[in-house]
Structure 1
Amino acid sequence: MADLRAVVGYAVACARPVLAIFERERPDDERPQAAVDAALAFAQGAERTKVLRDNAWAAQRAATEARDAGQVAASEAARAALAAAGAAFLHPLAKATQVKHILGSAAHAVRAFELVAGDDPAAVADHLARARSLASPVVVDVLRRYPPAPNAGGRIGELIRHLDAALRAGPG
């Protein structure tokens, strides 16, 4: 459980900065913030309850609504919040698809920043480096228990694979 809490803490740290992107576009929608708050509570010792799952689903709906309104960066920010809450449901079976539970929040956050920066490669590199620096040795150890991320998932999948490879490679 301590390892799972560390993974969720990492996901929260990745999602928090992009909440501002969501809130700028959708100031009256608190669902992504609530998902991050629920994930943080879990990371700090709260039980893994239906409240966490309900907040994750609410963030998913917020992401869909933002996307449908043409607010793609806000949608990705809400997906980062969804992934932070969803990280608490990482499955112990060593399947490559579970890597998204570990790195999904980071990838969606990087994508939100990428969209805001007009797909600027330097901004992407900076945010990937930040996501990498936030990963504690415990998070990296948990990641290494799973096979590498699968070759799927579009741009988010690319970002996950990049982070996955960088974290497995170690410092540097």
Structure 2
Amino acid sequence: MAMADDAATIELTMTELREVAGYSVACAGPALPIFERERPGDGRPRAALDAARAFAEGAERTKVLRDTAWAAHRAAQDAREAGRTAASEAARAALAAASAAYLHPLAKATQVKHILGAAAHTARALELAAGDDPTVGAEHLAKARDLARPVLADVLRRYPAAPPGGARPGELMRRLDAALR
């Protein structure tokens, strides 16, 4: 069935959305200490991860998820404006984890960001925290690949490949996408 924007719809169960959210939380977790070290006292990314984790474990998909995702987005912007790029990427990972619950059932490449964005932004945060070392990002992507259970790979394959662009996090996302398909 085609939508008005010509994107086919994809069947997604709540169990699959919870799996995607749980994966995103697991992938984003390693970046949280970077944010908290560089931006002590700002609990917005942690709140986003906590809300995403609760959803993955069975909580309802409520406005709290959206609110904490937007708050993590603002934390990322604040960190970037303060010159804390690693912290900004870490907050973006938390944003992506909280947004994973809102993966849309549209066959559009941009939706892959809801599935793999947390892993990509975490990999970039880890690279930046290690002096922009790409091997650190590659190591995180390998761990993220190993964390992916068959359900996640099945959901991912329903979507087109990750979209172009997105600077270094986009490149990292496309690498992970290729590894999981």
Report Cα offsets for 1:95-127 as digits up to 9, x if no partner: 111000000000000000010112223212211
- Match of 2:119? 106
TM-score, structure 1 as length reference: 0.96
Note the alpha carbon deviations across 1:75-109, whole angstroms, 9 max, x for none. Answer: 00000000000011000111111000000000000
Residue in 2 that maps onto 1:155: 168
Shift of 1:167: 0.5
**1:4 counterpart = 2:21:** no
Q: State the shift of 1:20 in Å.
A: 0.2
Corresponding residue SS for 2:160: coil
Q: Map Cα deviations across residues 108-158 of structure 1 (whole Å, 9 max, x no partner).
A: 000000101122232122111011111111111100000111112111111
Identity %, equivalent residues? 74
Residue in structure 1 matching 2:52, options 39, 48, 60: 39
Q: What is aligned with 1:144?
A: 157
1:126 maps to what in 2? 139
What one-letter code is carried by the residue in structure 1 that aligns with 2:164? N
* CA–CA separation in structure 2 for the residues paired with 1:58 and 1:125: 28
Q: Which moved more, 1:148-157 or 1:109-118?
A: 148-157
Q: Does 1:89 align with 2:102?
A: yes
Aligned to 1:68: 81
Structure 2 unaligned spans of 5+: 1-13
Partner of 2:72: 59
| C-alpha contact 2:16 2:151 (8 A) present in aligned 1 | yes
- Normalising by structure 2, what TM-score? 0.91
For 2:117 and 2:75, the matched residues in 1 are separated by: 17
Q: CA RMSD in A?
A: 0.7
Alignment deviations for residues 29-70 of structure 1 (CA, whole Å, 9 cap, x no partner): 000000000000000111111111000000001110001000
Q: Is the 8 A contact 2:127 2:135 kept in 1?
A: no
**What secondary structure is seen at the aligned counterpart in 1 of 2:173?**
helix
What is the distance in 2 between the residues matched to 1:2 and 1:35? 20
Distance (Å, rounded) in 2 between the aligned partners of 1:61 and 1:120: 26
In the alignment, the residues of structure 2 paired with residue 138 and residue 111 of structure 1 have an alpha-carbon distance, to the nearest angstrom, of: 25
Q: How many residues align?
A: 168
Cα distance in 1, alignment partners of residues 84 and 133 from structure 2? 18
What SS does the aligned partner of 1:148 have?
A: coil
Q: Detail structure 1 runs of 4+ shifted over 6 Å in the superposition.
A: none
Kindly provide the amino acid, as one letter, of the partner of residue 44 in structure 1: E
